Structure 1
């Protein structure tokens, strides 16, 4: 349908000043309401009913809430220690607890870096199960000397460390344990073997590699030797380390018959000797007197004859 409005009657759309002012006022009020911070819905007191001199008190909303305590950053005293003293503390603790190096290396990244760069922290090899742990410790000790320990369970003193043998040892177990450290005899600083249970040929399994003849069986760094097996019935005489241990100063011998070579024991300053009991009478006395004549540097001597008699 054609429009009845003719072209000559059309007028251009013009906005009056009053209309523009009204639109501008509406838009400014909307923007102001959007920028105004929202009030908590739990606060039922409106601004119109609250006086100008009555500020909002948050304690009135939660009367049982304590004011926040300011956080004060403090540094632990152990972080003030120099790395050298901290590493030395770890080394002293590792002499009593063989798992201490692993424990401190899992505390933080700083302690882990310090533990991994302290070879003497990993020198104590407490033989038992978990072969991969002891091989890794030998690797981390690098070129540092080693302290080898092998103890069998004592029923009177239950073990507190799970890495020690949980059952009585036999020949094959002892030989497998010593096979881990036997290639490093030249790096041994101490050897501590204490066997509390009876099983045949335990000394053969423990000392077979040490009785070999040659340079690889020598112990140039050995300073302490402890061999204890009171239930031993093997009368074999063991000749250790190819007769070469110039730094050996301390020895505890109980329940084993050794070849008392001057080149091996002549520099001893401490000797705790218990006679093996395989000889008696004049022969046993001659054996004890002979070892005392060879060791003229002994400053402390503890002798416990097992079955020396003149009859």
Structure 2
């Protein structure tokens, strides 16, 4: 292989059918359409939007000061972080046992459980959110079941509450947490668990001192894949929440569609992007990037 070919990074080196490796120029040519599409449909519109937040027409930070000076907008940002955190915790509580069961069961039961995890990804977020509206409304299935069991005398207000928003968002994002945890648990050698049992560790101690530490990469990556999208969630909070559960994505939509204040909406987007970038760096410190992506133990 030529010296030029040896300079190609390992992830970019591929073999032709004849056994020759693709050079740097060929790799760049193959990747060019992707990067061109990324530049045209994502980076350029995003940079144009962000530039409008501090260029109107002279450079100014007034829109960003407005975000932090007004207590209403600060409450919206804090509420967004709080709801996203609750969504992540609920998804973790629900998702970890499912991921663990996926590593233990075999046969048709494993196929059915995997299908239950993956099939929701084939339906739109709007459909799944509408299903929660049917379940949680005053004459819905949940209220009917509670009254039939004698737990309540009258329908409860379950819809348009913070709990409904958290529950629906956790349901929508749950597969993105289960799959990385499943990958991490699947890569844990059975010898580690058997060794812990032979050394006298009970199930609780084995879980907290062996299983959980070895699955940290999958847990961290799954929480990251739930928390960050939850920060920018729009459809579910808009349909199930109330003005008391206003989140930053809904606020951006209001500023664009109703107030026609594009510079301030762009400032809100900029603040959200900075928060996402900061959180991603924190997670990257906790788990190395290659393990974060792979979800390995």
* Bin of the TM-score, shorter chain as denominator length: under 0.3
* Structure number having the greater helix percentage: 2
Q: TM-score, normalised by structure 1?
A: 0.20
Whichever of the two has the greater Rg, that structure is: 1
Q: TM-score, normalised by structure 2?
A: 0.21
* Structure number having the greater strand percentage: 1
